[in-house]
Amino acid sequence: MTINSFGVVGAGQMGGGIAQVAACSGFDVVLYDLNDSALTRGVGAISASLSRMVKKEKLTQDEMDQALARIKQTSDMADMVSVDIVVEAASEDEEIKKSIFRQLDEVCQPGAILATNTSSISITRLAAATSRPGQVIGMHFMNPVPMMQLVEIIRALQTEEAVFDKVKQLSLDLNKVPVDVKDAPGFVSNRILMPMINEAVFCRYENLASAEEIDTVMKLGMSHPMGPLALADLIGLDTCLSIMEVLYDNFKDSKYRPCPLLVQMVDAGYLGRKNGRGFYHYD
């Protein structure tokens, strides 16, 4: 099967970014979310992102209009019946993802590839929740999707080689750089990144320095473009906590224990940029 049409489940930051990149690459996109308000916000964010690209002359107004016209919004999962691949970009919760994969397994056409943008959950377990485990794979895009080149491609134990080859080529067609990664908790990116962020949170928890000072150390001392606490706010503190919990639960190693401050902040509803307050305040 040639991949011509593209489905995305979840119109949030990651799902919207994936839909934007696919539409700009010439694919017809079906963008699903549970309710119309989430879809409206998601497409509004895509439109705003494309407008910024037009202002920077990275895109023409005509190209922006064509990309938006390729995106079909829906709150009916049955509309995924015609897509060649669907990427799930819902909450980082294994049971929610398994439920979505069971639904997709029922409605998607035979041969359609079911991919997940999970940043830490086992692809093998998600594949086992379907009747087509050989057609399940991980496509872990980086945030923000339109700007970041990397896509980790993660094979489940069951994934067919032909499916991997198609997804690798699809990543290239999306102007991304695919990297073949084994199915293990956190894969490579978050196996390295999240413990670093968690350690930065411990530094703040122990009051070694302010959030700004911790980030300045990493930016000026290690040439990081963004400090770890600002990056945590961008990712979402709830997502950071979920990934740390996956690492801790799977490896049973205390080095992956989530910092108590991270747990507290999520309990308080301080989730970062997505709701205006994290380690920093946002408008």
> Could you tell me the domains of the chain?
5-182 (3.40.50.720), 190-273 (1.10.1040.10)
Of the chain, the percentage scoring pLDDT greater than 90 comes to 98
Q: What's the pLDDT at 133?
A: 98
DSSP 115: E
Q: What is the pLDDT of residues 113-122, one digit of tens each?
A: 999 999 999 9
34 vs 103: CA distance, rounded Å: 13
Q: What is the pLDDT of residues 213-225, one digit of tens each?
A: 999 999 999 999 9
Binding residues: 10-15, 33, 49, 56, 92, 97, 119, 143, 274
Q: What's the pLDDT at 1?
A: 67
* Full-model pTM: 0.92
Mean pLDDT for the chain overall: 97
Q: By the 8 A CB rule, do 59 and 53 touch?
A: yes
Q: Which residues are catalytic?
A: 119, 140, 152, 190
Binding residues for CoA: 49, 56, 119
Binding residues for NAD(+): 10-15, 33, 92, 97, 119, 143, 274
Give Cα 177 to chain centroid, integer Å.
15
Q: What is the mean pLDDT of residues 79-92?
A: 96
Which helix or strand (DSSP H or E) is residue 179 part of? strand 177-181
Q: What is the pLDDT of residues 229-254, one digit of tens each?
A: 999 999 999 999 999 999 999 999 99
Structure tokens at 9: 């489940």
Q: By the 8 A CB rule, do 135 and 114 touch?
A: yes
